[in-house]
């Protein structure tokens, strides 16, 4: 087997509670892979510090000085998980033949890395890690997350079911990714658009071993909303159909009110009018909101601001 260079990219935001343990486990894992001659000894683990407010960067620097396996990429400020991940991927694509992205809390089983690499040597440019079960997630997380994937698919977004950001990408897949310039990042929607041969590896997701989730409900919802509005114009089309439907209903109402007028019962019907006003007002507000959301997207895309700014990169 050829020994190619593997880089792991791990975005970290306030992860002081987990970093040392994560580093310990990855050290064992990577050295094992090097011993099995699956990867080159130039392979690295890159922690991306996403503007953490705690000691995360100090710990990364310490790990880097103690062990050359660990590299650190420091961003100028907090830019969110997706941007931090992109920053890491774009920085390491010069050095690596293949790159695996994962979370700092090692909820994604690191023992399937072997399979990822095998699939890569078998010709896959992209290997998706897919959660087989969600036995250890809370009912709420499981329900909302799986509902999200189903809804996305209904909305016509081509995403891999139950795949988050645990994946392997080859150098040329990363070159492909660098061609996507969008600011509203939703990586798991973009990656399938790159093309190339891909495969899927199943794994069981664990609980976080320390620290707490950086994805509270509010962030999850806004992430889901970004995913839908960045990849699908179905909501806009839905408004069009709603408009057509409302038009036909109002023709019926026009006829009805004329009939009522000629029968001379005009005072009654107050309830009906009040209901109509509220319903129509509501639908209009909703529609404006959806359109506004897309205009907002256009606004931020036209500014084409940088998605991240690198402060320093420690790699040796
Ligand atoms: N993360 C980040 N920037 C942020 C929020 C999160 O880089 O603004 C990282 C975080 O450190 C972790 C990964 O994104 O490595 C996933 O976060 P978390 O494990 O808290 O999410 P969950 O697994 O609960 O969905
Ligand atoms: Mg997690």
Give the DSSP letter of residue 39: B
The pLDDT tens digits for 227-263 are 888 888 778 878 888 888 888 888 888 888 888 778 8
**Residue 229 covered by a domain:** no
Q: What is the DSSP string of 139-177?
A: HHHHHHHHHHHHHHHHTT----TTEEEEEEEEHHHHHHH
Residue 169 sits at φ, ψ, to 5 deg, of: -130, 140
Q: Is the pLDDT of residue 136 over 80?
A: no
pTM of the model: 0.82
**Residue 220 covered by a domain:** no
**Residue 40 covered by a domain:** yes
The verdict on 281 and 153 lying in the same domain is no
For the stretch 107-143, what's the b/e string if a residue is b when 16 or more beta carbons lie within 10 angstroms of its beta carbon?
Answer: bbbbebbebbbebbeeebbbbbbbbeebeebeeeeee
> To the nearest whole number, what is the mean pLDDT of the chain?
89
Cα R_g (the chain), whole angstroms:
25
- Segments forming the whole domain that contains residue 70: 6-214
pLDDT at 213: 81
The verdict on 119 and 256 lying in the same domain is no
Angstrom distance (rounded) from CA 219 to CA 237:
26
The verdict on 134 and 263 lying in the same domain is no
The verdict on 247 and 144 lying in the same domain is no
Q: Is the CB of 81 under 6 A from ligand 1?
A: yes
Residue 293 CA, ligand 2 centroid: distance in Å: 28
**Residue 109 covered by a domain:** yes
Q: Is the CB of 103 under 6 A from ligand 1?
A: yes
Question: Between these two residues, 306 and 258, which has the higher pLDDT value?
Answer: 306
Closest ligand 1 atom to residue 102 Cα is 15
The pLDDT tens digits for 152-164 are 888 888 888 889 8
The verdict on 184 and 50 lying in the same domain is yes
Closest ligand 1 atom to residue 79 Cα is 8
**Residue 60 covered by a domain:** yes
Give the DSSP letter of residue 53: S
The verdict on 287 and 169 lying in the same domain is no
Q: What is the domain-level CATH number for residue 95? A: 3.90.550.10
Q: Is the CB of 15 under 6 A from ligand 1?
A: yes
Tell me how many domains the chain contains: 2
The verdict on 71 and 171 lying in the same domain is yes
Taking CA atoms only, the protein residue closest to ligand 1 atom 24 is: 213
**Residue 227 covered by a domain:** no
Q: Is the CB of 11 under 6 A from ligand 1?
A: yes
The position carrying tokens 């709603």 is: 242
The pLDDT tens digits for 60-95 are 999 999 999 999 999 999 999 999 999 999 999 999
**Residue 310 covered by a domain:** no
Structure tokens at 114: 């072997």
Q: Which ligand is nearest to the CA of 102?
A: 1
Which range scores top for mean pLDDT: 11-20, 181-190, 295-304?
A: 11-20
The verdict on 190 and 274 lying in the same domain is no
**Residue 253 covered by a domain:** yes
**CB-based neighbours (< 5 A) of ligand 2, an ion:** 103, 105, 107
Q: Is the CB of 60 under 6 A from ligand 1?
A: no
The verdict on 210 and 238 lying in the same domain is no
Question: Between these two residues, 231 and 19, which has the higher pLDDT value?
Answer: 19
Q: Is the pLDDT of residue 267 over 80?
A: no
């Amino acid at each position: 087997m050829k020994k190619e260079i593997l880089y792991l990219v791990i975005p970290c935001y306030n992860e002081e509670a987990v970093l040392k343990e994560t580093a310990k486990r990855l050290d064992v894992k990577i050295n094992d892979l090097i011993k099995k001659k699956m990867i080159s000894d130039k392979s690295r683990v890159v922690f991306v510090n996403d503007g953490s407010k705690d000691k995360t960067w100090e710990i990364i620097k310490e790990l880097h000085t103690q062990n050359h396996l660990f590299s650190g990429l420091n961003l100028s400020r907090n830019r969110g998980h997706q941007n931090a991940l992109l920053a890491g991927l774009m920085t390491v694509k010069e050095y690596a033949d293949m790159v695996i992205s994962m979370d700092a809390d090692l909820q994604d089983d690191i023992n399937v890395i072997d399979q990822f690499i095998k699939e890569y040597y078998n010709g896959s440019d992209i290997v998706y890690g897919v959660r087989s079960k969600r036995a250890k997630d809370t009912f709420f997380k499981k329900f909302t997350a799986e509902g999200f994937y189903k809804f996305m698919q209904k909305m016509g977004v081509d995403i891999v079911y139950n795949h988050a950001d645990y994946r392997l990408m080859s150098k040329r897949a990363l070159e492909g990714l660098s061609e996507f310039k969008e600011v509203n990042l939703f990586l798991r929607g973009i990656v399938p658009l790159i093309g190339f041969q891909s495969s899927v590896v199943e794994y069981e997701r664990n609980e976080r071993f320390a620290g707490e989730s950086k994805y509270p409900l509010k962030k999850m919802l806004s992430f889901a909303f970004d995913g839908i509005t960045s990849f699908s114009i179905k909501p806009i089309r839905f408004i069009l159909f709603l408009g057509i439907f409302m038009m036909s209903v109002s023709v019926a109402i026009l006829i009805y009110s004329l009939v009522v007028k000629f029968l001379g019962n005009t005072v009654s019907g107050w309830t009906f009018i009040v209901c109509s006003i509220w319903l129509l007002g509501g639908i209009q507000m909703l529609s404006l909101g959806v359109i506004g959301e897309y205009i907002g997207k256009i606004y931020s895309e036209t500014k084409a601001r940088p998605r991240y700014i690198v402060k320093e990169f420690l790699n040796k």
